[in-house]
């Protein structure tokens, strides 16, 4: 029963991340919308890589592709790469102080944006300005909040 509850909580956190990604900030704050699924993938890749790894990230990336109407596999590949980076480095990342984790999350968010941009550029050439990259900064700044919330719930539920 406890395993089902853990699985349900992990999948619910991915669903919440997907919902927050689909419903962005409005107006001029749209470029500041954090990459919520990157945060969720990174958290579970660092703290429970055996429960939510690369394949889970890939599936939720496919769900994001369907929800946003982008080419199939675009976000799936970028989230799988993010998950791969966290899973292979999870033991080191757990030991890093918070500011180094935030820097790593900023790099992961940048990787996600870069892969997404390059793949979208193959299908339809586009130009981006510095606003495109602003979400990487807000993603890194929100990392401590995500860390505290998820750890609090995990310790409360003891898993």
pLDDT at 1 over 60: no
Please provide the DSSP assignment of 94-120 as one string.
HHS-HHHHHHHHHHHHHHHHHHHHHHH
- Name the residue ranges covered by the structural domains of the chain: 31-157
Sign of the CA dihedral with 64 first, then 65, 66, and 67 last: positive
Average pLDDT, integer, range 9-35: 87
SS3 73: coil
pLDDT at 66 over 80: yes
Provide the mean pLDDT of the chain. 91
Which pLDDT score, from 0 to 100, does residue 126 have? 83
On the 0-12 / 13-18 / 19+ scale of CB atoms within 10 A, 91 is: exposed
Sign of the CA dihedral with 60 first, then 46, 43, and 47 last: positive
Question: In the chain, what percentage of residues exceed pLDDT 90?
Answer: 72
Residue 157's pLDDT band (cuts 50, 70, 90): confident
Question: In the chain, what percentage of residues exceed pLDDT 70?
Answer: 96
Residue 24's pLDDT band (cuts 50, 70, 90): confident
Cβ pair 123, 154 in contact under 8 A: no
Residue 159's pLDDT band (cuts 50, 70, 90): low
pLDDT tens digits, 67-118: 999 999 999 999 999 999 999 999 999 999 999 999 999 999 999 999 999 9
pLDDT tens digits, 137-155: 999 999 999 999 998 988 8
Average pLDDT, integer, range 29-40: 89
Which pLDDT score, from 0 to 100, does residue 43 have? 96
């Amino acid at each position: 029963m406890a395993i089902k509850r853990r699985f349900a909580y992990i999948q619910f956190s991915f669903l919440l991340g997907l919902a927050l990604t689909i419903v962005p900030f409005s107006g001029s704050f749209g470029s500041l919308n954090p990459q919520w699924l990157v945060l969720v993938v990174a958290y579970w890749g660092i703290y429970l890589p055996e429960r939510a790894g690369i394949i889970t990230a890939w599936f939720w990336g496919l769900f994001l592709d369907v929800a946003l109407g982008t080419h199939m596999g675009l976000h799936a590949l970028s989230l799988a790469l993010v998950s791969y980076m966290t899973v292979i480095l999870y033991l080191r990342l757990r030991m890093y102080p918070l500011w180094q984790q935030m820097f790593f999350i900023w790099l992961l968010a940048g990787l996600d944006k870069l892969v997404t941009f390059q793949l979208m550029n193959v299908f339809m050439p586009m130009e981006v300005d510095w606003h495109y990259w602003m979400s990487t900064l807000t993603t890194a700044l929100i990392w401590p909040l995500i860390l505290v919330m998820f750890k609090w719930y995990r310790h409360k539920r003891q898993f």
